[in-house]
Structure 1
Amino acid sequence: MQNNTQLVKNVFNKNADLYQEKYMDVAMYATSIDLFCKCLPTDGSVLELACGPGNITRYMLDKCPGLKILGTDIAENMIALAKQNCPEAAFELLDCREIDKLNRKFNGMMIGFVFPYLSREECIQVIADSAKLLEPNGVIYLSTMEDNYVTSGWRTSSKGDKVYMYNHEEGYLTKALKDNGFEITDMQRKVYDGWDGKPVTDLILIGVLN
């Protein structure tokens, strides 16, 4: 959905400072990020998709200062904030659907909450592309909002910004991981109240490439 891609980019550029204020603390996901980091060499390389203001990047670097992280995002303002928050890391503008253009390998792939903005087919393709970019025994981390795919739809934020958001199902995500040579080593769910008071489930999957 190309039009939605531009909408998402505009929304994140517009609200980058607000996003940083709200989401820099990733303590809710610390346990799973710690597991991801433990699977990496101390000086390992990580490709992070949709890095935002560098919230997960900052946590990983504080936990494992030797990591070499390349953070990517489609929003220029997010990249600018990430560079300020994580000067030790490298950042560049890149759509996660175009990572097949990268000409290097990584020990880890960090994919934190970009899937809510990608269709089922796009998510499956990102997983396949990630497998090709990982070194042997490379590790993948992905998180997304979990619900029946048919509940996906247009959402309007408290600021009046409208984007199409996808809910995803564990079944086809785990299948895509296994089909591309990953062994799933950890699965977690976080349940909390959404902005409308309804419960939201975050699904977190970690896999190692065989």
Structure 2
Amino acid sequence: MDKTETTVKAYNACAADFTAKFMDLALYKDSLNHFINLVPAGAKILDAGCGPGNIARLLLEKQKGFRVSGFDLSPEMVKLAINNVPGASFQIGDIRNLSSWEPGYDAIIAAFSIVHLSNDETLQFIRNVSCLLKAEGLFYLSCIQGDHAGYATTSFSRKEIYFNRFSRNFILTALTGHNFNIVNTFSQAYPEPDGTTSTELFFYARKMPL
């Protein structure tokens, strides 16, 4: 079983527990609200790796006329998203293959989606996001800081999930190398179940006109 299949099975099994922990976005509202304030009213937004629809719900609560669609590779997460956020559209999809999505988005959000990708897959994803965004379109990207990958259980999953960690420089280089201008970056601590903390990285980028 490869890393993606293992990870999807784990998320299918823990979808309810993940939703209970993260649906209110307590740890991430500040970072998301800062990004949302940059996005113009009426924007067409894609949530790549939408989970149970927590970010889509926050977007629609802003009442800025956003047109929100999202996708996730976990069927159970997509079911929850459809139920939780009837005002958005969701489908099963793989961030490693964005060929079914038409260009023309004003903003794309990838909240901890790349943590389940290899370095090469992440570079391809960022390249594809650049193709899908309009000129001046906005990109929200978050990940875990580090320099290694492997499998781990979490506070919301007893089954192992594949996690990759990235250096700040790796992401910055990938973004600037694919026609993005960096708007802002910051980091925050995430409390792990064993009492340690991980560092989470957040990037706001804007696609430059060609």
Q: Is the 8 A contact 1:24 1:53 kept in 2?
A: yes
The one-character-per-residue Cα deviations of 1:53-74 (angstroms, maximum 9, x if unpaired) are 0111111111244111111000
Q: Is the 8 A contact 1:37 1:64 kept in 2?
A: no
Q: Is the 8 A contact 2:4 2:162 kept in 1?
A: no
Task: Give TM-score, length-normalised by structure 1.
Answer: 0.93
Q: Which deviates more, 100-109 or 66-75?
A: 100-109
| Equivalent position amino acid for 1:114 in 2 | S
Say if 2:19 is the partner of 1:20: yes
Distance 1:74 1:175 in 2: 27
Q: Which residue of 1 aligns with 2:194?
A: 196
Q: Is the 8 A contact 1:143 1:204 kept in 2?
A: yes
Q: Which deviates more, 71-80 or 61-70?
A: 61-70
SS in 2 for 1:96: coil
Q: Which deviates more, 137-146 or 162-171?
A: 162-171
Distance 1:80 1:194 in 2: 28
Q: Which residue of 1 aligns with 2:108?
A: 109
SS in 1 for 2:96: helix
Q: Which residue of 1 aligns with 2:161?
A: 163
SS in 1 for 2:97: helix
Distance 2:80 2:158 in 1: 23
Distance 2:170 2:154 in 1: 28
Q: How does 1:108-127 map to 2 (within 5 A)?
A: 108-127=107-126
The structural deviation recorded for 1:165 is 1.2
The one-character-per-residue Cα deviations of 1:7-27 (angstroms, maximum 9, x if unpaired) are 111111111111111111113
Task: Give TM-score, length-normalised by structure 2.
Answer: 0.93
The structural deviation recorded for 1:31 is 2.2
Q: Which residue of 2 aligns with 1:130?
A: 129
Q: Number of aligned pairs?
A: 207
* Structure 1: gaps of 5 or more residues: none
> Runs ≥4 in structure 1, deviation > 4 angstroms?
none
Say if 2:68 is the partner of 1:54: no
* Structure 2: gaps of 5 or more residues: none
SS in 2 for 1:177: helix
Q: Is the 8 A contact 2:103 2:134 kept in 1?
A: no
The structural deviation recorded for 1:196 is 1.6
The structural deviation recorded for 1:143 is 0.5
Q: How does 1:63-102 map to 2 (within 5 A)?
A: 63-102=62-101
Q: Which deviates more, 153-162 or 166-175?
A: 153-162
Distance 1:127 1:204 in 2: 14
| Equivalent position amino acid for 1:17 in 2 | A
SS in 1 for 2:183: strand
Q: How does 1:26-41 map to 2 (within 5 A)?
A: 26-41=25-40
The structural deviation recorded for 1:103 is 2.2
In structure 2, relative to structure 1, the CA distance for the partners of 1:199 and 1:28 (3 Å cut) is: same
